[in-house]
């Protein structure tokens, strides 16, 4: 389970202080598919980055599957992230200098997965995401929808417990967006916990539950049936 207690996040830049999170307490059960919504600037990405162990809160507690991680060092966070958490971003965030195959292989290289097993896992994801035929191409040679499928393959190749997606369909047309939502749904049905930030009520409809944020706080949590 993912559980936060009274998370605060304060950013200080050029002597300007911004309270991005102002007391966020949430619980997400293993296997849930949760959507996070709210106006621009309300703290969605900040919360997702903390949940994904990319950043620490200024205050509060965060339990990631039982381990308190709010005050972990960058190095320990990075170790826990490996193999446990996969990220998908609006802008895909692929590495332009690496081929499709190499982008997907990267998390397994970080985890020092043996070569034969790496090959098997990368190829399985390329097949599943229907992108095998573009394995030797580079990100800039692909359409947005194809790039996002590569990014999802990279996020899931190490079989993480949790996938965090920050507006994953934000740069896609409706056909490609629907394909991405179907892939996320399939992963969730396979047992992966998913937390997705979205502006789209249509995309939020794929989730079990919507958490609404406003001004750094949770305002409502609506359950879908
Ligand atoms: P959302 O994703 O909901 O649009 P964010 O979480 O990105 O919102 O941002 C919440 C607030 O925190 C905004 O006011 C934003 O400007 C500020 N913020 C986010 N990241 C930083 C940062 N690294 N440094 C300073 N301020 C930041
Ligand atoms: Mg954001």
3-class secondary structure for the chain? CEEEEEEEEEEEECCEEEEEEEEEEEEECCCCEEEEECCCCCCHHHHHHHHCCCCCCCEEEEEECCEECCCCCHHHHHHHHCCCEEEEECCCCCCCCCCHHHHHHHHHHHCCCCHHHHHHHHHHHHHHCCCHHHCCCCHHHCCHHHHHHHHHHHHHCCCCCEEEEECCCCCCCHHHHHHHHHHHHHHHHCCCEEEEECCCHHHHCCCCEEEEEECCEEEEEEECC
Q: What is the mean pLDDT of residues 150-179?
A: 95
Q: What is the mean pLDDT of residues 6-10?
A: 98
Q: What is the mean pLDDT of residues 123-151?
A: 95
Report the chain's mean pLDDT, rounded to a whole number.
Answer: 95
pLDDT at 225 (0 to 100): 46
Q: What is the mean pLDDT of residues 16-24?
A: 96
Using most ligand atoms within 8 A of CB, pick from 17, 19, 41 the residue to mutate for ligand 1.
41
pLDDT at 83 (0 to 100): 87
Using most ligand atoms within 8 A of CB, pick from 20, 42, 166 the residue to mutate for ligand 1.
20
Closest-CA residue, ligand 1 atom 21, reads 11
Q: Using a 6 Å cutoff on CB, does residue 41 contact ligand 1? A: yes
Q: C-alpha distances in angstroms, 68 versus 104, 153, 164?
A: 30, 29, 19
Is residue 221's pLDDT more than 90?
Answer: no
Q: What is the mean pLDDT of residues 137-161?
A: 95
Q: Give me the helix-helix angle, 144-156 and 174-189, nearest 10°.
A: 10
Q: What is the mean pLDDT of residues 27-47?
A: 97
Q: What is the mean pLDDT of residues 202-219?
A: 96
Q: Tell me: the pLDDT tens digits for 89-129? A: 999 999 999 999 999 999 999 999 999 999 999 999 999 99
pTM of the model: 0.94
Atom in ligand 1 nearest the alpha carbon of residue 13:
25
Is residue 189's pLDDT more than 60?
Answer: yes
pLDDT at 16 (0 to 100): 92
Q: What is the mean pLDDT of residues 176-204?
A: 95
Q: What is the mean pLDDT of residues 71-86?
A: 92
Q: C-alpha distances in angstroms, 170 versus 107, 162, 183?
A: 24, 20, 15
Is residue 34's pLDDT more than 80?
Answer: yes
Centroid of ligand 1 to alpha carbon of 129 (angstroms): 32
Is residue 192's pLDDT more than 80?
Answer: yes
Ligand with the closest atom to the CA of 47: 1
Q: Tell me: the pLDDT tens digits for 54-78? A: 999 999 999 999 999 999 999 999 9
């Amino acid at each position: 389970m993912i559980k936060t207690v009274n998370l605060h996040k304060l950013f200080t830049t050029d002597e300007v202080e911004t309270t991005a999170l102002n007391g966020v307490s949430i619980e997400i059960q293993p296997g849930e598919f949760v959507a996070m919504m709210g106006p621009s600037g309300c703290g969605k990405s900040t919360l997702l980055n903390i949940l994904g162990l990319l950043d620490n809160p200024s205050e509060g507690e965060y339990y990631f599957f039982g381990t308190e991680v709010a005050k972990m060092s960058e190095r320990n966070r990075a170790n826990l992230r490996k193999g446990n958490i996969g990220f998908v971003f609006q802008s895909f965030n692929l590495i332009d200098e690496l081929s499709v195959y190499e982008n997907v292989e990267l998390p397994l290289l970080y985890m020092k997965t043996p070569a034969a097993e790496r090959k098997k896992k990368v190829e399985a994801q390329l097949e599943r995401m229907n992108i095998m035929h573009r394995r030797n191409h580079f990100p800039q040679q692909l359409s947005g929808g194809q790039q996002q499928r590569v990014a999802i393959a990279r996020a899931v190749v190490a079989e993480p417990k949790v996938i965090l997606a920050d507006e994953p369909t934000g740069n896609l047309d409706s056909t490609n967006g629907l394909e991405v939502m179907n892939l996320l749904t399939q992963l969730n049905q396979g047992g992966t916990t998913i937390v997705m930030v979205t502006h789209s009520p249509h995309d939020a409809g794929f989730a079990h539950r919507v958490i609404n944020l406003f001004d750094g706080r949770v305002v409502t949590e609506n359950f879908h049936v």
